[in-house]
Structure 1
Amino acid sequence: MNARRLLYPAIAAIGIAALGSYAYYAERQPQRPMEQTAGTAQSSHGAGRVKGQGSVVSVDVATVATVKLVDDVSAVGSIRSNESVVIRPEVSGRISRLNFGDGQRVRKGQLLVAFDASVNQAEVQQAKAELGIARANFERNVDLARQKFISVRARDESLANVQVLEAKLALAEARLSKMEIRAPFSGIVGIRTVSVGDYVKDGADLINLEDISSVKVDFRVPEKYADVVRKGQLIEVMVDALPGKPFRATVDAIDPQVDSSGRSALLRGRIDNPEGRLKPGMFARVRLILGVRDNALVVPEEAIVPQGNKATVWRVVDGKAARTEVRTGLRRAARVEITQGLQAGDMVVTAEQIRLTRDGTPVKIAQGAPGARPVEASAETAPKS
């Protein structure tokens, strides 16, 4: 009885152990082919990578070109008159004469506006008469003082009276001159807003006078260019009112103070305007020419491969790729200036650089690749003088 009780647990333990062993080997058995397959695939991939390192890479290329490159700065500005003034009277009065027509050209010193000056003319005549009497009295007093009939003091008092009346006459003539307004310079008058008979107060706007034989163009550039701008540098000006008509100018003045709010420097150029086509107040698009490089080397932008804080390109030398460090300059029209590292005629890779992992990789130029042509230089020529 006791033997049977011990037999049943033993049989159960043996069965459980057998089932566990079977499950363990059943689970382990299918994984072996997968591991072998994965290992085979990895081996094949590694073999392919090793083998691919020596394969030829098809790339697009461009030739380093020599062009005339313009270093310029673009800005916006306004056209201003060479000389501009608003005619205003210094005294109040009634207009008696307007000696110009609207939009008419006038000469320097020409009478423009005259006021009623009858009172002022009378004051001048009165002052002249008083001065004449005083001078006659002074001459008689000189003779009398010489003959000792009057004192020297009486003679001096008559002289002082002459001097006072001379100043009175000068004051009356000055007031009379204020009743006429003459052109301070030659130019073109605007459109008047007054007529003969109008009574105007001192300081009222009568007419504007503009000298546009030459005009000024005022514009601002960032402060970083303040140290490289010089008087006499060329300026190309375009105005929206005259499309397709560039105007040549030169830097005429540089404001020594940099605007603290906009961090910009004010420049002024001067343009000859004999035909009067440029008008004050026009919006101007300005191109300041800082310099012209006749033999600048340029490559397409896509040829530049950044490497840390350096710029590099892949050159094609004897059918192989060679990484070359370069220094860049200006960027114009998707082209980059190369200041160091390349020479004219060198061939650089413009596409598929990601496949070039080391120097000496064999390459071939893709047939019909647009980069195989030299860099276009027509867009980078300097403006004609």
Structure 2
Amino acid sequence: MKSNGRIQLLTLSALMLLCSCGKSDKSAEVKVKEEKPKVKLALVKTENVEQIQEFTATVESNVKNNIAPSSPVRIEKIFVEVGDQVRKGQKLVQMDASSLNQVKAQLDNLKIEFARIDELYKVGGVSKSEWDAKKMSLDVMQTSYRNLLRNTSLTSPISGVVTARNYDSGDMYSGGMPVLTVEQITPVKLMINVSEDYFTKVKRGMKASIKLDVYGDEEFTGNVTLIYPTVDQTTRTFPVEITVANGGQKVRPGMFARVTLSFGSLERVVVPDLAVVKQTGSGDRYVYVYNNGKVSYNKVVLGRRMGAEYELVSGVPNNSQVVIAGQTHLINGIAVEVEKK
């Protein structure tokens, strides 16, 4: 009898222990189910956002001229060096003048002969055809002389600066590289490729803000001076030329530039950068929007970044509450707990 009593007591104790464990597990399970991800929120509103776009470009001279004769000839004297400022019409190079001197002597003889023929023609001493033939010979020789003169005494067609010298005095010019290169750097120009989305918004005379890496945050001002009339079908962009007056000549050809154009302003929703989530494996961006205790996973189109904020082109309504912390464990439609600030 005592043995049976002990067995019954042990059995009852075991049942009570099992019941106790079952209640504990269920309680823990309920507790896990009720625990919600904690998030921090920020209220977002529309703001007046300036619509600016940044482009990159390399500075170019306004005009670039290569100075060289039309045929191989020995260089007698070069009068300038790289970096020299030159004026329009200034003599830069003297080439060998042997051919020029020969043609000059022939031209002088033809002038004397023509003067004699002309006097005879006036009194009927020669025919019109003889006069015409001699006049044509004189004209051809004068043209040849002027051409040789231009290619013997090389002058600058523009005012600018010498940016390249490829020969020395006494060298034989053999073609290929020019003797000198002269560039006009007052003004200079930049060519940018603008998206076709702005084709109707770019106007001649528009102001452009320009920064050069070499000068840090110093700003230069330019103007749109040329808009190409067609859009490249591959890149969907069109070229735009911007001119910078460059009175101080600080902006030099070859410098890397960042050009900013402003296309007015629009009312846009602005969100903290902490709210923007990048979807893994794609370039899409999302923002969690809070509403009635739950969050929705809204795909957004970003505009420009403004410090610690982003302009949104679309994706989040005005006056929304967005998640700025705690996104790691969130999924679309999940209930969340808002942490108090």
Match of 2:216 among 225, 243, 250: 243
Indicate how the Cα distance of structure 1 residues 347 and 98 shifts in structure 2: closer, same or farther if over 3 A, else same: same
From 25, 36, 43, the equivalent of 2:19 is: 36
CA shift, 1:41, in A, is 3.3
Pick aligned residue for 2:244 from 242, 266, 271: 271
Stretches of structure 2 lacking an aligned partner (at least 5 in a row): 1-7, 280-284
- 2:287, 2:322 within 8 Å by CA — same for their partners in 1? no
Flag the 1:85–1:359 CA change in 2: closer, same or farther, 3 A: same
Letter in 2 for 1:105: Q
Q: What SS does the aligned partner of 1:109 have? A: coil
The one-letter code of the counterpart of 1:314 is Y
Q: 1:351 aligns with which of 309, 325, 329?
A: 325
1:323-373 CA distances to partner (integer Å, 9 max, x unpaired)? 5787654252553434575445x654433576899899885623xxxxxxx
1:96-107 pair list within 5 angstroms:
96-107=76-87
Cα separation, 1, equivalents of 2:333 and 2:41: 17
Q: 1:173 aligns with which of 128, 143, 146?
A: 146
Q: Report the CA distance shift for 1:271/1:265 in structure 2 as closer, same or farther (over 3 A).
A: same
Report the CA distance between 1:93 and its aligned residue. Answer: 3.3
Deviation at 1:195, TM superposition (A): 4.4
SS in 2 for 1:189: strand
Give me the whole-angstrom Cα distance separating, in 2, the residues matched to 1:32 and 1:217. Answer: 88
Aligned Cα root-mean-square deviation (Å): 4.5
Q: For residues 181-260 of structure 1, what are the structure 2 equivalents within 5 Å?
A: 181-190=154-163, 192-202=165-175, 204-219=177-192, 225-229=195-199, 230-232=202-204, 235-253=208-226, 256=230, 258=232
1:313 alignment counterpart: 289
* Contact preservation (8 Å) 1:251, 1:269: yes
The structural deviation recorded for 1:128 is 3.4
In structure 2, the residue matched to 1:380 is: none
Deviations 1:199-218 (A, max 9, x none): 43455532221111122234
TM-score after normalising by structure 1: 0.64
Q: CA deviation at 1:110?
A: 1.6
For the 8 Å contact 2:77–2:169, the answer to whether it is kept is yes
Distance 1:77 1:133, change over 3 A: same
Opposite residue 24 of structure 2, the aligned amino acid is A
Letter in 1 for 2:340: I
How far apart are residue 249 of structure 1 and its match? 3.3
Shift of 1:188: 0.9
Q: 1:117 is matched by which residue type in structure 2?
A: A
Write the distance in 2 (CA, Å) between the matches of 1:195 and 1:306. Answer: 60
**Equivalent residues of 1:68, 1:292 under 8 A apart:** no
Percent of counterpart pairs with the same letter?
Answer: 22
Alpha carbons of structure 1 residues 293 and 257: separation in structure 2 relative to 1, 3 Å: closer
**2:124 aligned with 1:144:** yes
Residues 134-192 of structure 1 show CA distances to partners (whole Å, capped at 9, x for unaligned) of: 343244245337xxxx8xxx442333233233322332332233211111111011364
Alignment match, 1:88: 68
**Cα distance change, pair 202–337 in 1 and its aligned pair in 2 (3 A):** closer
* 1:114 and 2:89 correspond: no
Cα pair 1:194 1:206 within 8 Å, conserved: yes
| CA drift at 1:80 | 1.5
C-alpha distance after superposition, 1:295-330 (max 9, x if no partner): 4331224446899x9865115xxxx64757876542
Residue of structure 2 equivalent to 1:337: 311
Q: For 1:288-307, what aligned pairs fall within 5 Å after superposition?
A: 288-289=260-261, 291-293=263-265, 295-303=267-275
1:371 maps to none
1:168 counterpart SS class: helix
d(CA) in 1 for partners of 2:332, 2:276: 15
**Structure with the greater alpha carbon radius of gyration:** 1
Deviation of the 1:112 alpha carbon: 1.4
What one-letter code is carried by the residue in structure 2 that aligns with 1:134?
F
Contact 2:103–2:141 under 8 Å retained in 1: no
Aligned to 2:59: 79
Match of 1:365 in 2: 340
